[in-house]
Each structure stands twice: as C-alpha cells, then as structure tokens.
Amino acid sequence: MSDRPTPWQNFTGQYIAGAWRSGSTRKVLENRNPYDNALLTELSLGDVSDLDDAYQAAATAQKAWAQTLPNERSALLMRAVSVLEARHEEIVD
C-alpha cells in the first residue's frame, strides 16, 4: 500500500509558503461525488488573512523565480510534468 494520499485525501487545507495548513475560519466545505453524493473529503475554508498570506508567499516566490535561469525553470517544469504523467491514473480516478 502506498503512503501517498489519494487525490482527495489529505489535500484539505491551503498550501501556502511551502506548507499545508488549515484555513483560519475552522469551517469546512463538504466535497461530494456528484454521482452518488458520497462524501469525498471536507475542505478547510480560509478567510482574507489566508489570502493575504498566500499573496505574500507568491510575491516572495516570484522574485526568486524571476532570478532563476530559463533552463533551470524549464527543468523544474519538465520534472513536474513527469510526476503528473507518472501519477495520471491515480489523479484521474
């Protein structure tokens, strides 16, 4: 059995500044299968402070990304493509 989470498992918060965290509201949104209404997961909802944190993290990351050489950016993006391609069956299920 894989230790990797399924596509709907464990991705319930916000990924901000390199870390998963729960939303500040402590409220959740139920994510249900439209076919049978089965509960897939509960998504942690954020608020404006979470949005501000995400914006600041993105602004900081963009500065570093802008300084990254094009060939390095390309290599990183191609690695991401490879990971997605390797896990595409798992992702689409």
Q: How far is CA 36 from CA 33, 39, 41, 89, in A?
A: 6, 9, 14, 21
Residue 27 · residue 45 · CB < 8 Å: yes
The verdict on pTM exceeding 0.85 is: no
Coil, helix or strand at residue 12: coil
Q: Which of 84, 88, 7, 89 is nearest to 40 (CA)?
A: 7
pLDDT tens per residue across span 20-33: 888 899 898 998 99
Instruction: State residue 42's pLDDT score.
Output: 86
pLDDT tens per residue across span 82-93: 999 998 887 776
What does the mean pLDDT of the chain come to? 87
